[in-house]
Structure 1
Amino acid sequence: MTFNPLRERGIPLDDQLRNWRELNVDPIDPDHADPYTRCRIIAMNGIETEAIFFSHHLARHCDNIDLKQQLARVRYIEAQQQKAVNWLLPGVSSVLETTLAYEQVAVDLTAWVARMEPDGYLKQAYQFGVLEDFDHLYRYANLYEMIERRKAEKIVDGLTEVMPGRPTYLHHRDPVDNVREPYDRSTTAPISKLHALTIMAAEQQTMNFYMNVGPMYMEPIARRLYQEIGLIEEEHVTHYESLVDPGESWWEMLLNHEYNECYMYYSFMETESDPRVKNIWELHLNMELEHLRLAGELFKRHDGRDPEQVCASELPAPVTFEPNKAYLRELIATQIDYTTLGTGYVQEAHERFQKMQDALMGGDKAPSERVIEENRARSGQEYRLQTEGEHPVHSLAYHR
């Protein structure tokens, strides 16, 4: 059955305000919930957070008080949605357990998008990034074992493997080499726009999360690892946000944001295993349909075009959280030694990369390398979770 959110009517905006009792949702059970339910919660929180940030930026560039007021009304509802979504996470989970879940989101969401992306250049951007998130999961899993004495399979439940990807210290690049070429808004497939917004939003919330929680640890190795990976997340946000065509007007960007929210809530409603959480996705979808309608009216008024000229007339296949083990192993086997040069990719070290490495490392090992060494010393071996066979070993052309 096709679903065209541009033709559907949702809950009127005046009926969307919720009281405290309705917003105070019960969190999921961390010991019995489907790990991918937690992933959907984290991903959707990133989407809502990006929607709120974007609306604020739009309002700051808008000189019409009536438009500012309409944006504020919708934005307040978005903020309520974000609270309901994010408050589904259990308070008993440690920061590091939530971190492992964030990286599971990054791995399996980005891998799925890479598999589904029709544009070769955009696909390469997601393939490149996912091998770095994959390695971050491995580094945090070793930190988790070292300071909390627990195994990461408690969080990822064997759905996502935990083993080395592209080594984290090799992710530090000259900032200019993190900028990609944007898609062309006039020719790119609508699904490509949704993919770019989704992964940008997911990486942005991870960057913000690490910026804030890193100093909460007393252990020096934890503080250093969050600092290192937090810097790489900034690189990832630059990498993904530059894929979006900057020639889109504010109203086209608003329309794309609202359409993407409808797409993500619809996707998670269709794939959710927890009936209670599924009801929240359905409720929020019906709210977002009205937000999309309002954005469409603004787009028609200010851009003079019909929303169906830039958005798909029906939603694509649902975004799905699922294991991507074979796909990731294939990428490890073929692309682990990639780095960036300008807006392209190379498999050899180059002058800017080496200069950045030398300046940042200062002759010392990176925290991401130290955490593995320290966990080996404390636990007897490093932590890995491989569910089948052995993963291939590679020598990196620019490995120091």
Structure 2
Amino acid sequence: MSFDPLQERGIPLDEQLRTWRELNVTPIDPDAADPYTRCRIITMNGIEVEAVMFSHHLARHCADLEVERQLARVRYIEAQQQKAVNWLLPGSSSVLETTIAYEQVAVDLTAWVARMEPDPYLKQAYQFGVLEDFDHLYRYANLYEMIERRKAEKIVGQLTEVMPGRPTYQHHRDPIDNVRRPYERRETEPLSRLHALTIMAAEQQTMNFYMNVGPTYMEPIARQLYQEIGLIEEEHVTHYESLVDPGESWWEMLLNHEYNECYLYHSFMETESEPKVRAIWELHLMMELEHLRLAAELFKRFDGRDPDQVLAPALPPPVTFEPNKGYLRDLLTTQVDVTTLGTGYVREAHERFTRMQEAIMGGEQPPSERVIEHNRAINGREYRLETEGPHPVGVRLTP
């Protein structure tokens, strides 16, 4: 049955405030929970962080005091939602274990979006980015084995493979080559808008996480690897945020944000295997329906349009966390040697790419390569998790 958030009634805003006791959620059991439950938690944390920060930016450009007050009321509830979601993660997990889960999110969420994306240019953007997150997972998994003496399958299960992707050192590009061409808001399908917002928010949260946790390690190689990959996550945020049409008004962007939250909470409510977590997704969906209604009223008031002109008439099929092993292997075989040039993609190491590589490396081996060498020296081999067949051989970029 189709679900149209604009036609559904949610919880009135005045009834959404929760007490400390209600916010004190019980975290998942890291040893018993489905790895994809953790992925859904991490995803919705990123979505809620984006909702809060977007609302703050909108408020800073809002001259209407009453509207600013309404934004503040909704934003406080979004902040409570973010706390409830993020606090579902277990305190017993190390920073590195959470990092590996973040990269599992990046791999399987982006791969799923790439598979479902109807626009060929946007699909290419997701296919390009996922091969880099795939390699980040491999680098952090080796660091995890080296520092904590554990294997990444403890976290990702058998759902996501761990193997080299596009080598991390090749992700350092001239910043101007990280900017993509945006979709055209009047022509793009509503699903494409939701995809762009989702992946942008997820990558932004990863960037923020690495910026804050990177220096908390004592081991020099760990600090250096977080620094290197943290810079690449900044590139990824640039890559994905530039896909969004900058011509969208503040009120259209607010509408899209709230609709996307409804879409994701509904998706995860439909696919969640953990009952207590599913109950939170359902509660938050009922809250977001009211947030969407309020955003729709602001959109009609300030943009003079009906929300049906920009939103899908019903939610698309649910976003699904599922294995993407075959899809990723195909991408490794066909696209591992791709880099960016301007708003497009090429297979040659052009002048700007080479110049950036020389400048950032400074004649030294990067941390992402050294972590693999260190783990080989300690354990006699690098860490991989391959569940089927041989690792596809890709072509590396050469100047």
Same fold (TM over 0.5): yes
Match of 1:80 in 2: 80
Residues of 2 paired with 1:54 and 1:394: CA distance? 39
Match of 1:385 in 2: 385
CA deviation profile, 1:22-73 (whole Å, cap 9, x unmatched): 0000000000000000000000000000000000000000011101100000
1:135-284 mapped onto 2 (5 Å cutoff) = 135-284=135-284
Question: 2:300, 2:307 within 8 Å by CA — same for their partners in 1?
Answer: yes
The letter for the 2-side match of 1:3 is F
Deviation at 1:158, TM superposition (A): 1.1
Match of 1:39 in 2: 39
Give the SS at the match of 2:7.
Answer: coil
Residues of 2 paired with 1:377 and 1:312: CA distance? 54
1:339-350 mapped onto 2 (5 Å cutoff) = 339-350=339-350
| 1:116 is the counterpart of 2:136 | no
Deviation at 1:391, TM superposition (A): 1.3
Match of 2:314 in 1: 314
The letter for the 2-side match of 1:83 is K
Match of 1:18 in 2: 18
Deviation at 1:108, TM superposition (A): 0.1
Match of 1:291 in 2: 291
Deviation at 1:125, TM superposition (A): 0.1
The letter for the 2-side match of 1:59 is A
Match of 2:354 in 1: 354
CA deviation profile, 1:306-332 (whole Å, cap 9, x unmatched): 001000010000000000000000000
Deviation at 1:394, TM superposition (A): 2.3
Residues of 2 paired with 1:395 and 1:303: CA distance? 49
CA deviation profile, 1:212-260 (whole Å, cap 9, x unmatched): 0000000000000000000000000000000000000000000000000
CA deviation profile, 1:95-136 (whole Å, cap 9, x unmatched): 000000000000000000000000000000000000000000
The letter for the 2-side match of 1:123 is K
Deviation at 1:396, TM superposition (A): 1.6
Residues of 2 paired with 1:61 and 1:299: CA distance? 15
Give the SS at the match of 1:142.
Answer: helix
Give the SS at the match of 2:390.
Answer: coil
Match of 1:304 in 2: 304
Residues of 1 paired with 2:393 and 2:274: CA distance? 39
The letter for the 2-side match of 1:13 is L
Residues of 1 paired with 2:79 and 2:115: CA distance? 31
Residues of 2 paired with 1:2 and 1:183: CA distance? 26
Residues of 2 paired with 1:4 and 1:62: CA distance? 29
Match of 2:99 in 1: 99
CA deviation profile, 1:274-301 (whole Å, cap 9, x unmatched): 0110000000000000000000000000
Residues of 1 paired with 2:170 and 2:48: CA distance? 31
The letter for the 1-side match of 2:67 is L
Question: 2:46, 2:201 within 8 Å by CA — same for their partners in 1?
Answer: yes
Residues of 1 paired with 2:395 and 2:323: CA distance? 26
Deviation at 1:397, TM superposition (A): 3.6
Give the SS at the match of 1:305.
Answer: coil
- Please, what TM-score do these two structures have when normalized by structure 2? 1.00
Give the SS at the match of 1:6.
Answer: helix
Residues of 1 paired with 2:390 and 2:105: CA distance? 23
Match of 2:49 in 1: 49
The share of aligned pairs that are identical, in percent, is 81
Residues of 2 paired with 1:394 and 1:110: CA distance? 20
Question: 2:347, 2:397 within 8 Å by CA — same for their partners in 1?
Answer: yes
Residues of 2 paired with 1:368 and 1:390: CA distance? 23
Question: 2:200, 2:237 within 8 Å by CA — same for their partners in 1?
Answer: yes
Match of 1:329 in 2: 329
- Please, what TM-score do these two structures have when normalized by structure 1? 0.99
Match of 2:71 in 1: 71
CA RMSD, aligned part only?
Answer: 0.5
Residues of 2 paired with 1:286 and 1:307: CA distance? 19
Residues of 1 paired with 2:96 and 2:395: CA distance? 30
Deviation at 1:138, TM superposition (A): 0.0
Residues of 1 paired with 2:397 and 2:115: CA distance? 26
Matched length:
399
Residues of 2 paired with 1:389 and 1:334: CA distance? 17
Residues of 1 paired with 2:217 and 2:181: CA distance? 38
Residues of 2 paired with 1:394 and 1:104: CA distance? 21
